[in-house]
Amino acid sequence: MLWKGILSESFFEELKRRKVIRIATTYIVIAWVLIQVSDVVSEPLGIPLWIQTALIIALIALFPVALVLAWLYEVTSKGIVRDSADVRSATPAVAPAAATDRNINRIAVLPLVDLSPEASEESQLFCDGISEEIINRIASHKELRVIARTSSFRFRGSDIDLAAVRHDLNATHLITGSVRRSGDINRISVQLIETHDNSQIWADAIQTSVDEPFETQAEVARLVDNAMVTTLDVMPTAASQAWKLSPAAQEQYLVARDAFWRADFPAVLKHADESNKIDPNNPLVPTLIAQVYLVWPRYGFSVTQDELRLASKNVANALRIDPHYPGAHAARGMLSLFLERDFRTAFEVVTAAAIRHPSVAEWVPQLLVYANRYKEAIELHRRIAQRDPLNPTNLLVWANRVNWMGQKEVAKNICKWAEDIDPEHLILKNNVFRWAIRDGDVEKARSVMSDWGMDPDQPETEPNIPWVPRSISLWLGSRLFGETGDSERAYSQAQEIEKLPGFTPTTVAEAYINAGAIDDAYRIWDLGISQYDLGVYDLAQPPDMREPDNPLWLKFRNDSRYEECLERLGLDQESLQGIDWNVALQVLQP
């Protein structure tokens, strides 16, 4: 196994990345020059022959030392430091959500309970908005580990099992509360609870007008933030800005934000647009619109260049309202990659935003994978899982990338973790199918398609499950037929996807690769690059990581056009040279 790893192409790429080959070449040249110089000057200067012999022996002996040092260390703007990949490998591949340092306070903010006599969807969204504002406010305290909304909001209602919350989230403290509306007055109460004995260590309540929803959310968040300072001994932070919206605009924004978490992106755009029309003075609304276009391709839908430019205009509007809003900066960074092919700017802007606020950290591993920095990406997925342990999307993407690194058992354990949270998740099924194909278990792959409501023998038919796009069925069919050697059927699947309205070029290109049609794959990849399809960056990942045992993918990778496409995407060696990758490891720094 060791020799297989040493002789692999990925190992050779790692040698180049760590500059071992460059150091070795430089060392040999310098050593040769020193030997030649000593040979020329030894006789005129009367230097004994044994000194020249000792010099040659020393240079030979120090050569492996230089290679080891080149492997272990790298020169950065901060001096000579350990190579970041070794720093990552020193940590376990899977760390439980538990914080090993018991001095770290892990805070879970649960959704506030609506106790109003006439509870409604609008009032519940208002309650959720308060909890989310608290999360955003206290997450800026570096001394705290604040559980992400995705995980903490899975616990909803007045009858919460605190023991389950403590176990599943490993929270040391909970923030709970309630909202009761009477006429034009909201009464909001919040409490801070220690989980080890369920004792209440702080509580407060305020009354506000129903016509001031954003001011109310900001005021409650300020109360809780002060409680963190006084009860948990954390350093104060700068006050957050309260963006004022009219009640009607606030309602539309809350509905849009809730739809975003449900991945109902058409509804997000509809309600966010309504909120903007009523009152265009909140940076959260245009940022939410921009995020839709950045996230939508993950679910198999194409995004046009015009839509990306619309996203860019919304980000610019958000930053005009609040130049410091981290979410808008992260979106701006991603757009600089997709629209301008400027990876360096994207990396610097997104990591800076994620260091400031953990809510945008999930963008950083995606950028790292585009640049083939898999170990750093996996480490960040691990840290995100500590903050957001019940987020199946992060877990499943993490599992897939761990699997790329050859750690199959670890990947399966992470997948089981995600399956316990959401057994029907789209990425979960996709992972199981891919891994079954990779292991040569065709029957298991066929059973995954059947469980998904697809016909493995006729993938052209519409899936029985409405939320599964037909393009997914066709892509799985192309992979299945390609694995069994039926390249003609695999090719027909790719052609069917290409005929679909709004097809994603990435899906079609991958289907053509599965059929061995490399020229068609590059034709579609070229089309995707020209049309600013976000998924084209997935094709840039080297198959020795993504599909190590698939000769069709290796054939695609070894084509001369591959490097040309990397250059067009801004992912060539020249574009990535000199980037300080250690900055990424400051995100969610433990």
Three-state secondary structure string covering 317-339: HHHHHCCCCHHHHHHHHHHHHHH
What would the two tokens of residue 381 be? 């997925």
Say if residue 166's pLDDT is above 80. Answer: yes
Say if residue 429's pLDDT is above 50. Answer: yes
| Element holding 185 (H helix, E strand) | strand 185-194
Residue 83 or residue 434, greater confidence: 434
The dihedral region occupied by 106, where left means phi > 0, alpha psi between -120 and 50, and beta the remainder, is beta
Which of the residue ranges 182-191, 277-286, 291-300, 305-314 would you say has the lowest mean pLDDT? 291-300
**Which residue, of 27, 49, 82, is where some domain finishes?**
82
Asked if residue 583 is part of any domain, the answer here is no
Q: What percent of the chain has pLDDT over 90?
A: 30
Say if residue 9's pLDDT is above 60. Answer: no
DSSP 504-573: -HHHHHHHHHHTT-HHHHHHHHHHHHHTT-GGGGGGGS-HHHHSTT-HHHHHHHTSTHHHHHHHHHT-SH
Span 7-17, mean pLDDT? 52
CATH of the domain at 199: 3.40.50.10070
Q: Are residues 462 and 522 in the same domain?
A: yes
What would the two tokens of residue 546 be? 């993504």
Asked if residue 225 is part of any domain, the answer here is yes
- Phi and psi at 206, nearest 5°, equal -135, 160
- Phi and psi at 283, nearest 5°, equal -70, -20
Residue 270 binned pLDDT confidence (cut-offs 50, 70, 90): very high
Q: What is the pLDDT of residue 351?
A: 95
Residue type, 374: Y
Asked if residue 587 is part of any domain, the answer here is no
CA angle at 404 for the pair 13 and 549, rounded to the nearest 5°: 80
Report the first-to-last Cα separation within the chain, whole angstroms.
33
Q: What is the pLDDT of residue 198?
A: 86
Say if residue 89's pLDDT is above 50. Answer: no
Q: Are residues 167 and 262 in the same domain?
A: no
Residue in 455, 467, 478, 459 with CA at minimum distance from that of residue 524: 478
CA distances from 156 to 160, 223, 318, 393 (A): 7, 22, 31, 20
Span 398-418, mean pLDDT? 88
Report the number of distinct structural domains present in the chain: 4
For residue 191, count other CB atoms closer than 10 A to its CB: 17
Domain interval for residue 336: 245-371
Q: Are residues 430 and 542 in the same domain?
A: yes
Give the model confidence (pLDDT) of 93-124 as tens digits.
444 444 344 567 889 999 999 888 777 777 88
Q: What is the pLDDT of residue 312?
A: 94
Give the model confidence (pLDDT) of 487-497 as tens digits.
999 999 999 98
Give the model confidence (pLDDT) of 178-227 as tens digits.
998 888 888 999 999 998 888 899 999 888 887 777 778 888 988 898 88
Q: 555 burial class (0-12, 13-18, 19+ CB within 10 angstroms)? A: middle
Residue 153 or residue 406, greater confidence: 153
Q: Are residues 210 and 263 in the same domain?
A: no
CATH of the domain at 479: 1.25.40
Q: What is the pLDDT of residue 559?
A: 92
Asked if residue 341 is part of any domain, the answer here is yes
Taking the CA atoms of 373, 375, 381 and 383 in sequence, report the sign of the dihedral they define: negative
Q: How far apart are CA 168 and CA 217, in angstroms?
A: 27
Which of the residue ranges 69-78, 84-93, 262-271 would you say has the lowest mean pLDDT? 84-93
Q: How far apart are CA 316 and CA 458, in angstroms?
A: 47
Residue 141 binned pLDDT confidence (cut-offs 50, 70, 90): confident
Residue 512 binned pLDDT confidence (cut-offs 50, 70, 90): very high
Say if residue 520's pLDDT is above 50. Answer: yes
Residue 564 binned pLDDT confidence (cut-offs 50, 70, 90): very high
Asked if residue 584 is part of any domain, the answer here is no
Span 250-258, mean pLDDT? 85
Q: Are residues 278 and 200 in the same domain?
A: no
Say if residue 589's pLDDT is above 70. Answer: yes
Q: Are residues 327 and 444 in the same domain?
A: no
For residue 14, count other CB atoms closer than 10 A to its CB: 17
Q: Are residues 214 and 251 in the same domain?
A: no
Residue 92 binned pLDDT confidence (cut-offs 50, 70, 90): very low
Asked if residue 463 is part of any domain, the answer here is yes
Asked if residue 186 is part of any domain, the answer here is yes
Which of the residue ranges 77-81, 457-461, 544-548 would you say has the lowest mean pLDDT? 77-81
Q: What percent of the chain has pLDDT over 70?
A: 87
Q: Are residues 253 and 364 in the same domain?
A: yes
Residue 335 binned pLDDT confidence (cut-offs 50, 70, 90): very high
Say if residue 83's pLDDT is above 60. Answer: no
Asked if residue 389 is part of any domain, the answer here is no
Say if residue 236's pLDDT is above 70. Answer: yes
Say if residue 30's pLDDT is above 80. Answer: yes
Say if residue 75's pLDDT is above 60. Answer: no
The dihedral region occupied by 358, where left means phi > 0, alpha psi between -120 and 50, and beta the remainder, is alpha
Count the alpha carbons within 13 Å of 159 in the hemisphere toward its beta carbon.
0
Q: Are residues 25 and 115 in the same domain?
A: no
Predicted TM-score (pTM) of this structure: 0.75
Span 70-92, mean pLDDT? 48
Say if residue 536's pLDDT is above 90. Answer: no
Say if residue 76's pLDDT is above 60. Answer: no
Q: Are residues 566 and 428 in the same domain?
A: yes
Instruction: Please answer whether residues 562 and 571 qualify as being in contact, where contact means their C-beta atoms are separated by less than 8 angstroms.
Output: no
Say if residue 522's pLDDT is above 90. Answer: yes
Say if residue 577's pLDDT is above 80. Answer: yes
Which of the residue ranges 11-25, 181-195, 524-538 would you say has the lowest mean pLDDT? 11-25
Q: Are residues 441 and 552 in the same domain?
A: yes
Q: How far apart are CA 295 and CA 303, in angstroms?
A: 10
Beta-sheet pairing, 185-194 with 173-182: antiparallel
User: 191 has which bridge partners?
Assistant: 176, 203
Q: What is the pLDDT of residue 101?
A: 46
Q: Are residues 226 and 146 in the same domain?
A: yes
Say if residue 303's pLDDT is above 90. Answer: no
Residue 155 or residue 95, greater confidence: 155
